[in-house]
Chain A
Amino acid sequence: MLSKLRRPRGREGIGSGPDGSRSIARERLYNALNRDRYDLLAPDVVESLRRDLLNVISRHLEVDDQFHELEIQRKDDSFYLVASVRISSLPRWAAVS
């Protein structure tokens, strides 16, 4: 989605070409927006995910009633939902194979 950051060639004046400060501005805006959105969104969304995820998971596995880890993490330019929950008791079929 984001074009690679390119160094502007000449400053001002004739020949400064199509890759001036715009691409830097674009990159910086992209990062600032992501940063802000992430800061504002994380607590709310994680909170509403918490219960829903536990409900879904416990239909398949017997797990603790709270997450060991549940957060939106940032790695380089991407965001990941990272969740881990302790399985309190493995069902028999899972133990066999």
Chain B
Amino acid sequence: MKGKTIVITSGKGGVGKTTTTANIGTGLALRGHRVVVLDTDIGLRNLDVVMGLENRIVYDLVDVIEGRCKLSQAMIRDKHLPELYLIPAAQTRDKNCINSEQLTDLCRNLELEFDYIIIDCPAGIEQGFRNAIGPAQEAIIVTTPEVSALRDADRVIGLLEASELHRPKLIINRIRPGMVKRGDMLDKDDIVDLLAVEILGMVPADDRLITATNQGVPVIHDKKAPSGLAFSRITARIDGDDVPLMDLEPKGGLMDRVRYLMGINRSEYTHA
């Protein structure tokens, strides 16, 4: 059995790549797979904090590549899931200290033992991006429903296609269903129409995601979080389940409807 390597990328920074990597990795492990999440954002590592594992780091990705430790020594086991591991990025180096071949060799090794390797890509389209997409067999692009993020996503799709990573799929993050309903936010149909890309999932903007992240717990563990539910559905799709895409809806209660009609921004609850 051979594992699969998936890169999570975006072009634009701050749209939710690290959050998505943590939740998809956790989601796949929850489904019983053996998973490694790999932080390639060298110099700006974050995946460790989002996973709540920052205090356990001894060795990092660059240590492995430069031979200062064995691969297994840089793999940090998750607090909750015994089949989920993090390989953290180096914090005191920069993106040019590794190359795409080295990262590809590393992932080929991991694929022998793990079902999924999920790569958290740095923002931008320079060396760090090139490194991160090198080993991947599939690519997922994270965007928000904003002109700038979507424009960068389109650029990245072009670059991925040019690197033989065909048909990347899109996750639209931080959707506010109330704003979509009011006609104040681009929706899924606009995005499919203009970018001509397959949508892998839609994640609402969610206060519970922030609370969970504050505690170093991926929000997919929170059964009440709309964003967690969205990530579960995305994970199921990655894993081959046929889960239909549903429009995000503001929660049905009368008060919620009144609130979003009045334009009061609250966490907008949904059924994913």
Contact = CB atoms under 8 A, between A and B. Distances in A.
Contact of A33 (B154, B185, B187, B261): B154
B141 to A, nearest CB: 14
B58 interface: no
A17 interface: yes
Interface in A35-54: 36-37, 40
Interface residues of B, number: 21
Interface stretch (A20-28, A66-74, A77-85, A89-97): A20-28
Nearest to B258: A14
Interface stretch (B129-137, B143-151, B163-171): B143-151
B184 A20 contact: yes
A37 B262 CA distance: 39
Given A12-B263, A13-B263, A20 B182 contact: yes
Contacts of B190: 22, 25-26, 29
Given A16-B263, A22-B183, A28 B147 contact: yes
Interface of A: 1, 8, 12-14, 16-23, 25-26, 28-30, 32-33, 36-37, 40
6 contacts: A14-B262, A16-B183, A16-B263, A18-B183, A25-B146, A36-B151
Interface of B: 146-147, 150-151, 154-155, 158, 180, 182-187, 190, 193-195, 261-263
